[in-house]
Structure 1
Amino acid sequence: MRREKPVKLYVTFYTYAEAMAMDAACKRANIGGKLASIPRKLSAGCGVAWECDLELRADIEKLLKQENIEFEEMAELSA
Protein backbone atom coordinates (compact mmCIF):
# COMPACT_ATOMS: atom_id res chain seq x y z
CA MET A 1 0.00 0.00 0.00
CA ARG A 2 1.39 3.37 -1.01
CA ARG A 3 1.47 6.17 1.54
CA GLU A 4 0.41 9.65 0.52
CA LYS A 5 3.26 12.10 0.81
CA PRO A 6 2.50 15.20 2.87
CA VAL A 7 2.03 18.48 1.02
CA LYS A 8 4.75 21.02 1.76
CA LEU A 9 5.17 24.68 0.94
CA TYR A 10 8.16 25.57 -1.24
CA VAL A 11 9.44 29.11 -1.72
CA THR A 12 11.93 29.57 -4.56
CA PHE A 13 14.37 32.43 -4.98
CA TYR A 14 16.20 34.20 -7.78
CA THR A 15 19.51 34.19 -5.89
CA TYR A 16 21.24 32.12 -3.26
CA ALA A 17 21.65 35.27 -1.12
CA GLU A 18 17.85 35.62 -0.89
CA ALA A 19 17.55 31.94 0.11
CA MET A 20 20.13 32.48 2.85
CA ALA A 21 18.32 35.63 4.02
CA MET A 22 15.12 33.57 4.28
CA ASP A 23 16.90 30.92 6.32
CA ALA A 24 18.27 33.53 8.74
CA ALA A 25 14.92 35.35 9.02
CA CYS A 26 13.04 32.12 9.77
CA LYS A 27 15.55 31.16 12.45
CA ARG A 28 15.19 34.58 14.11
CA ALA A 29 11.39 34.29 13.98
CA ASN A 30 11.36 30.64 15.14
CA ILE A 31 9.56 29.53 11.99
CA GLY A 32 10.27 25.89 11.21
CA GLY A 33 11.53 24.76 7.85
CA LYS A 34 14.74 24.22 5.94
CA LEU A 35 16.63 25.05 2.79
CA ALA A 36 16.22 22.24 0.28
CA SER A 37 16.97 21.41 -3.33
CA ILE A 38 14.30 22.59 -5.76
CA PRO A 39 11.75 19.84 -6.47
CA ARG A 40 11.78 18.76 -10.13
CA LYS A 41 8.30 20.21 -10.67
CA LEU A 42 9.67 23.71 -9.98
CA SER A 43 12.54 25.76 -11.27
CA ALA A 44 14.40 28.66 -9.75
CA GLY A 45 17.38 30.80 -10.49
CA CYS A 46 19.47 29.61 -7.55
CA GLY A 47 18.42 25.94 -7.29
CA VAL A 48 17.49 26.24 -3.59
CA ALA A 49 14.05 26.55 -1.98
CA TRP A 50 12.68 27.07 1.51
CA GLU A 51 10.62 24.01 2.48
CA CYS A 52 8.14 24.07 5.36
CA ASP A 53 4.78 22.80 6.53
CA LEU A 54 1.83 24.12 4.59
CA GLU A 55 0.26 25.50 7.78
CA LEU A 56 3.06 28.09 7.96
CA ARG A 57 2.11 29.80 4.68
CA ALA A 58 0.62 32.94 6.31
CA ASP A 59 3.67 33.30 8.58
CA ILE A 60 6.03 32.87 5.62
CA GLU A 61 4.16 35.44 3.51
CA LYS A 62 4.27 37.93 6.39
CA LEU A 63 7.97 37.32 7.01
CA LEU A 64 8.90 37.71 3.34
CA LYS A 65 7.14 41.07 3.28
CA GLN A 66 8.57 42.26 6.63
CA GLU A 67 12.13 41.32 5.71
CA ASN A 68 11.76 42.56 2.11
CA ILE A 69 13.01 39.22 0.75
CA GLU A 70 12.39 38.84 -2.96
CA PHE A 71 11.19 35.39 -3.97
CA GLU A 72 10.41 33.79 -7.29
CA GLU A 73 7.54 31.41 -6.57
CA MET A 74 5.53 29.89 -3.75
CA ALA A 75 4.13 26.41 -4.44
CA GLU A 76 2.38 23.59 -2.61
CA LEU A 77 3.75 20.17 -3.57
CA SER A 78 3.91 16.64 -2.20
CA ALA A 79 7.23 16.25 -0.43
Structure 2
Amino acid sequence: MRKKERKIVITFRTTAEAIAMESQCQKEGIPGRLIPVPRQISSGCGLSWAMPADWEGDIGPWLEDRGLRWDKIGEYFI
Protein backbone atom coordinates (compact mmCIF):
# COMPACT_ATOMS: atom_id res chain seq x y z
CA MET A 1 0.00 0.00 0.00
CA ARG A 2 1.27 3.45 -0.94
CA LYS A 3 2.07 5.83 1.93
CA LYS A 4 -0.24 8.85 2.03
CA GLU A 5 1.40 12.24 1.60
CA ARG A 6 0.24 15.73 2.47
CA LYS A 7 -0.77 17.53 -0.74
CA ILE A 8 -2.45 20.75 -1.76
CA VAL A 9 -5.62 19.71 -3.60
CA ILE A 10 -7.55 22.12 -5.79
CA THR A 11 -11.03 21.20 -6.99
CA PHE A 12 -12.92 22.66 -9.93
CA ARG A 13 -16.54 23.10 -10.94
CA THR A 14 -15.91 22.00 -14.52
CA THR A 15 -13.52 19.77 -16.42
CA ALA A 16 -12.54 22.75 -18.58
CA GLU A 17 -11.29 24.59 -15.47
CA ALA A 18 -9.23 21.55 -14.45
CA ILE A 19 -7.70 21.26 -17.92
CA ALA A 20 -6.87 25.01 -17.93
CA MET A 21 -5.05 24.53 -14.61
CA GLU A 22 -3.06 21.60 -15.97
CA SER A 23 -2.10 23.56 -19.08
CA GLN A 24 -0.96 26.63 -17.15
CA CYS A 25 1.03 24.57 -14.64
CA GLN A 26 2.79 22.68 -17.43
CA LYS A 27 3.60 25.97 -19.15
CA GLU A 28 5.14 27.43 -15.97
CA GLY A 29 6.73 24.27 -14.60
CA ILE A 30 4.47 24.12 -11.53
CA PRO A 31 4.65 20.62 -9.99
CA GLY A 32 1.52 18.51 -9.72
CA ARG A 33 -0.96 16.49 -11.72
CA LEU A 34 -4.65 15.98 -12.33
CA ILE A 35 -6.18 13.26 -10.17
CA PRO A 36 -9.70 12.02 -9.44
CA VAL A 37 -11.25 14.04 -6.63
CA PRO A 38 -10.38 12.28 -3.35
CA ARG A 39 -13.34 10.69 -1.53
CA GLN A 40 -13.13 13.07 1.44
CA ILE A 41 -13.77 16.05 -0.85
CA SER A 42 -16.87 16.85 -2.87
CA SER A 43 -16.64 18.82 -6.07
CA GLY A 44 -18.62 19.78 -9.14
CA CYS A 45 -16.38 17.85 -11.53
CA GLY A 46 -14.49 14.61 -11.05
CA LEU A 47 -10.98 16.08 -11.45
CA SER A 48 -8.71 17.90 -9.04
CA TRP A 49 -5.14 19.16 -9.12
CA ALA A 50 -2.74 17.71 -6.54
CA MET A 51 0.60 19.34 -5.86
CA PRO A 52 3.29 19.20 -3.18
CA ALA A 53 2.20 20.83 0.07
CA ASP A 54 5.64 22.39 0.39
CA TRP A 55 5.36 24.33 -2.89
CA GLU A 56 6.97 27.68 -2.20
CA GLY A 57 4.36 29.85 -3.89
CA ASP A 58 0.98 31.03 -2.65
CA ILE A 59 -1.46 29.15 -4.85
CA GLY A 60 -4.55 31.36 -4.32
CA PRO A 61 -2.98 34.57 -5.68
CA TRP A 62 -1.18 32.57 -8.38
CA LEU A 63 -4.53 31.25 -9.65
CA GLU A 64 -6.13 34.70 -9.49
CA ASP A 65 -3.23 36.38 -11.34
CA ARG A 66 -3.74 33.96 -14.22
CA GLY A 67 -7.53 34.19 -14.33
CA LEU A 68 -7.94 30.51 -13.41
CA ARG A 69 -11.17 29.43 -11.73
CA TRP A 70 -11.42 26.85 -8.97
CA ASP A 71 -13.89 25.57 -6.42
CA LYS A 72 -11.88 24.71 -3.26
CA ILE A 73 -8.26 24.63 -2.11
CA GLY A 74 -7.14 22.55 0.86
CA GLU A 75 -4.42 20.37 2.26
CA TYR A 76 -5.15 16.66 2.54
CA PHE A 77 -3.33 13.39 3.10
CA ILE A 78 -3.80 11.44 -0.11
SS at match of 1:8: strand
The Cα of 1:5 is off from its aligned counterpart by 2.4
> Which residue does the alignment assign to 1:37?
36
The Cα of 1:8 is off from its aligned counterpart by 0.6
Q: TM-score, normalised by structure 2?
A: 0.88
2:29 is aligned with what amino acid?
Answer: N
Higher helix share: 1
The aligned length equals 78
> Which residue does the alignment assign to 1:76?
75
For structure 2, the 5+ residue unaligned runs are none
Q: TM-score, normalised by structure 1?
A: 0.87
2:40 is aligned with what amino acid?
Answer: K
2:43 is aligned with what amino acid?
Answer: A
> Which residue does the alignment assign to 1:48?
47
SS at match of 1:9: strand
Equivalent-residue separation in structure 1 for 2:53 and 2:67 (angstroms): 21
> Which residue does the alignment assign to 1:15?
14
The Cα of 1:59 is off from its aligned counterpart by 4.3
Equivalent-residue separation in structure 2 for 1:40 and 1:72 (angstroms): 16
